[in-house]
Structure 1
């Protein structure tokens, strides 16, 4: 054997040894920020005066509540996520987790509480895992930062940031002209526009502690969401049979455009995600913590945190930066053999069709925070997110 071949054989023999000496980092714990599951439309989500060629379908529950189908889908998702975490060695595949190993906190709205309850029913059936939340009627700053007045929010600065981010409301409407026309075709109202109303404008609320939006995006974003919820609910003919999966993804851009105003503009993201972002950072950087820390809120929470992290929400079946029912930003904390800790970010969702059929297929879309690597050192991840959050305000 020549010297070159001898050296090559030695190198190949050494590879398994080197691989075993540098194992992949192990997942230590997981933090999830999840939107609630499939619900009935919220009152006013389809604005009064919206015209359609046929009546809207009836829902089996009161406005904004999780449907029985939605509760079942949350349990299915819980089972799928339990298997996903077990495959990563975070929790055993079956049985009740040890006390304190799973922590669930939801907003005070019944749809978030019911979503957490449904998730746990599938994740750990028969186990005593508390669904934590504030008292009914309270404002939880984790999920409603502006309403809780947790930061020094200034409407004029917010509107300036929104205008810079979107190019202004007229430009935002023009950008989505094709989707507005498509939605009119789905509604089939035989009028020039099916949802008439005030022109596009964003302004401060009367108390100056928030913003309000008028115009086509405000009026149609909720309609687009209701049509998507019909599909996720498993209704036989979403959008009177005209809201195909492709159409839903396209008109979903109208719902996503709402977040360009309320949560994705940098100033809005910083203030909307402030308390929630700090709560996530506390969980990620604690020396110890639950194997799963689940926070169940709303689409605004998921979109604001994603924007603060500088990432887009991309998942099959949805428009970019629209939100899936039960869609979750997932932050895994990993530790390597030298004790270094990292965060790995992803977005876990199910398509509307998968939700409709109560399927267990969940898509995990990898994300990389700008300014870091796919496996982002915990300290670096924390510094990047913290720099994009508005400070807590005691005024």
Structure 2
């Protein structure tokens, strides 16, 4: 029987079957991956500390706004009791996930930077993951950890100041003026909340009384003998003020931030100001490579149990991190931004700006076994704004954002976008860090 005489329903049936087979063939790799169970081999976490008080001295805050700033219950830059509680809630919820993946306390290693806020955060994580004990004490000896989290300040690396300036300007859109124009509506909204500078601060800055922080000239500034870099003036103030508002919102669940003016909706509108300015500096390639290169290598070698040119990392950190099934490093948002830039990772948790690192936010790298194949994934996790503001004393699971690693794949599209092979991950890190030294 030729096609002209074939019953119409049979022709339709053949077409449907053909389409189904084509779709099945196209989806076969993904379906095959989903059919096989994945087993966690290793997890490496880089977490930011929890909610802290502002690091800026009172005199600097007074320059930004004449309004009376809130009094914090701890010293400048210290983790608060509230901050510790939020970390405990987050990691108590995380304990169930890790236990289901075979991560027991005796297989966990925790390393923290030397600051009170990082060590106290690490202690809260340890207690949440192992209420009965069993985790090796947190490693935070200055001689071991300071060069990892602060290699420039420790004297183990130096900024190429010309390259840093070029990279920051490029990230800013060509100039700091361009960046301020890009953010002008949000900075104006922020200035309406802070109000004018004090008469003394205005005079010091050469501005008329009634001016706001938004009228201050912005500059790239190197400090401490070129060991630190940042943006001053209107952009620096805007970034710092928004970050403080976020910390206030997390610290006091009974009220809004910014003298009561910044509720959750206003805060969400303002967060991109901090993230954009912060990233212009901390995700600049030369800044990220100099500040976070060694840390990135440590995370990668810990994940893959391979030696990846870790000349500046002492064995006291490197060996237990490689041996543990879960290695947790507690540092700062600057550390996470630098590592994120080097591995090409972008994320955005619900309610936050792109690449925002909220208190307790963490970059999670995982090594998995699926059948005979091993693969790497990356996530960013953190509590929602609502959870950070809530006064409910119960475990709260973090939001999780799957980071694309397709840029690391030698043949993009041959596996899910959120995966790459261990070899591809190692090659990317070596090319972006080790070979760029």
Q: Which band: TM-score by shorter chain? A: 0.7 to 0.9
Shift of residue 203, structure 1, vs aligned partner = 4.2
Alignment of 1:43-62 (within 5 A): 43-44=56-57, 47-52=61-66, 54-62=67-75
Map of 1:216 onto structure 2 = 234
1:254 has 2:282 as partner:
no
**Secondary structure, in 3 states, of the residue corresponding to 2:88?**
helix
Cα deviation digits, residues 274-323 of structure 1 (max 9, x gap): 11101101101117631210000001011111111212231123222221
Map of 1:110 onto structure 2 = 116
Give me the whole-angstrom Cα distance separating, in 2, the residues matched to 1:147 and 1:139.
12
Greater CA drift, 173-182 or 292-301 = 173-182
Give me the whole-angstrom Cα distance separating, in 2, the residues matched to 1:155 and 1:194.
30
Shift of residue 346, structure 1, vs aligned partner = 0.5
1:75 has 2:82 as partner:
no
Map of 1:264 onto structure 2 = 283
Map of 2:379 onto structure 1 = 346
Give me the whole-angstrom Cα distance separating, in 2, the residues matched to 1:326 and 1:144.
19
**Secondary structure, in 3 states, of the residue corresponding to 2:110?**
strand
Among candidates 163, 170, 175, match of residue 164 of structure 1: 170
Map of 1:174 onto structure 2 = 181
Map of 2:103 onto structure 1 = 91
Contact in 1 for aligned 2:51/2:251 (Cα 8 Å)? yes
Give me the whole-angstrom Cα distance separating, in 1, the residues matched to 2:37 and 2:211.
56
**Secondary structure, in 3 states, of the residue corresponding to 1:37?**
coil
Cα deviation digits, residues 51-101 of structure 1 (max 9, x gap): 25x5222211111111111111111112111112233x2325xxxx23xx1
Map of 1:23 onto structure 2 = 36
Greater CA drift, 111-120 or 379-388 = 379-388
Cα deviation digits, residues 251-289 of structure 1 (max 9, x gap): 222221332332111221222211110110110111763
**Secondary structure, in 3 states, of the residue corresponding to 1:199?**
coil
Map of 1:307 onto structure 2 = 341
Greater percentage in helix? 2
> TM-score, structure 2 length as denominator?
0.78
Shift of residue 210, structure 1, vs aligned partner = 4.2
**Secondary structure, in 3 states, of the residue corresponding to 1:250?**
helix
Q: Which runs of 5+ in 1 are unaligned?
A: none
Over 3 Å counting, the alpha-carbon distance change for 1:21 and 1:206 in structure 2 is closer
1:286 has 2:305 as partner:
yes
Shift of residue 36, structure 1, vs aligned partner = 0.1
Give me the whole-angstrom Cα distance separating, in 1, the residues matched to 2:57 and 2:131.
36
Cα deviation digits, residues 24-60 of structure 1 (max 9, x gap): 32111210000000111113385332225x5222211
Alignment of 1:106-185 (within 5 A): 106-129=112-135, 130-135=137-142, 140-166=146-172, 167-185=174-192
> TM-score, structure 1 length as denominator?
0.86
Q: CA RMSD in A?
A: 2.9
Shift of residue 186, structure 1, vs aligned partner = 2.2
Alignment of 1:169-248 (within 5 A): 169-189=176-196, 193-195=211-213, 198-205=216-223, 207-235=225-253, 236-248=255-267
Contact in 2 for aligned 1:103/1:290 (Cα 8 Å)? yes
Larger Rg: 2
Over 3 Å counting, the alpha-carbon distance change for 1:28 and 1:202 in structure 2 is same
1:371 has 2:405 as partner:
no
1:382 has 2:426 as partner:
yes
Contact in 2 for aligned 1:231/1:353 (Cα 8 Å)? no
Map of 2:371 onto structure 1 = 337
Give me the whole-angstrom Cα distance separating, in 1, the residues matched to 2:61 and 2:33.
61
**Secondary structure, in 3 states, of the residue corresponding to 2:363?**
strand
